[in-house]
Chain A
C-alpha cells in the first residue's frame, strides 16, 4: 500500500544545531507540503513543492528550507534550530493541482529544541 512516512518520529536537539526532518511518500504525488502544528494555531504551512526542483515558501518559512530532488522526498531543514521551532511537524502530499484533491498526511515528527 502507498504511504507517507516521516523520520524521526521524535527528535530532541540543541539551540543552534542544524536539523533535517525526512518525508517520503510512495503515492507518486506531485504536491508535497510541510506544516507545523502548535496549540492555538492549528496547522501552518512552512514550505511546499509542486514537483521536482520546485519549492515555495509558506506563511511561516523563516528559519526553514526544503529541497525537492525527486518525486518521493521533501526533506525539511532547520538551519539553526531555535526554541520557537519546538513543535509537531507534519508532511503531506496530494496528487495534483485540482482543488478537490485531499491531502495525505504523515504521522508527524515531534521536535524539541532545548
Chain B
C-alpha cells in the first residue's frame, strides 16, 4: 500500500519569501516521487521527480525538493516566491504493483502569494 499526505491545504507566503510545501509518503517499497503544479483552469504539469539518482532534485521555475528516507518526506521548496507561483501543488507517489504502475496523489496544497 502507498499513500501521500500533504500538510496544509492552503499556504500563504509573501512575494520574495521562502516557499515550503510539505509532503510525506508511505510506501512498502522504494518509491518514485513527483511534484505537479496546476494553474487555474489547467491540467497538472510536472514540476520535478525523484527517481533515486539524487536526493536533491531540481525542477522547473526554481523549485527543488529533497528526498529524506528517514523522515519519509519529499518537501518542495523555492527560495523566493514569485506572484506567478500562485497555483495548486500536488505530491504523488508511484510504484510497481503486479507489474503495473500505480500512482497515488495527495490532496493538494493551494499556494497564495501575497504582494
Please tell me which stretch of A63-71, A73-81, A93-101 contacts chain B, meaning at least 4 of its Cβ atoms lie within 8 angstroms of it. Answer: A93-101
- A43 adjacent to B45 (CB under 8 Å): no
CB-nearest residue of chain A relative to B102?
A99
**Which of A33, A42, A103, A105 contacts B108 (CB under 8 A)?**
A42
Contacts of A105 in B (CB 8 A): 36, 43-45
Could you tell me which residues of chain A, from 31 to 55, have a CB within 8 Å of some CB in chain B?
A: 31, 33, 35, 40-43, 45, 50
Please tell me which stretch of B12-20, B60-68, B72-80, B88-96 contacts chain A, meaning at least 4 of its Cβ atoms lie within 8 angstroms of it. Answer: B88-96
- B42 adjacent to A108 (CB under 8 Å): yes
- B100 adjacent to A42 (CB under 8 Å): no
- B101 adjacent to A42 (CB under 8 Å): no
- A97 adjacent to B96 (CB under 8 Å): yes
B side interface size, CB within 8 A: 25
Contacts of A14 in B (CB 8 A): none
Interface residue tally on A, bucketed by range: 20 to 34
- A103 adjacent to B51 (CB under 8 Å): no
Could you tell me which residues of chain A, from 1 to 60, have a CB within 8 Å of some CB in chain B?
A: 4, 31, 33, 35, 40-43, 45, 50
Contacts of B105 in A (CB 8 A): 35, 42-43
CB-nearest residue of chain B relative to A6?
B43
Q: With A94-B101, A105-B45, A107-B43 known to touch, is A99 a contact of B96 (CB < 8 Å)?
A: yes
**Which of B31, B42, B100, B108 contacts A107 (CB under 8 A)?**
B42
Q: Is B99 in contact with chain A by the CB < 8 A criterion?
A: yes
CA distance A42 to B43 in the complex (A): 13
Chain B residues engaging chain A, CB cutoff 8 angstroms: 9, 31-32, 34, 36, 41-46, 49, 51, 90, 94-96, 99-101, 103, 105-108
9 tightest Cβ-Cβ pairs between the two chains A and B? A105-B43, A42-B107, A43-B105, A100-B51, A99-B32, A105-B44, A99-B94, A102-B46, A42-B108
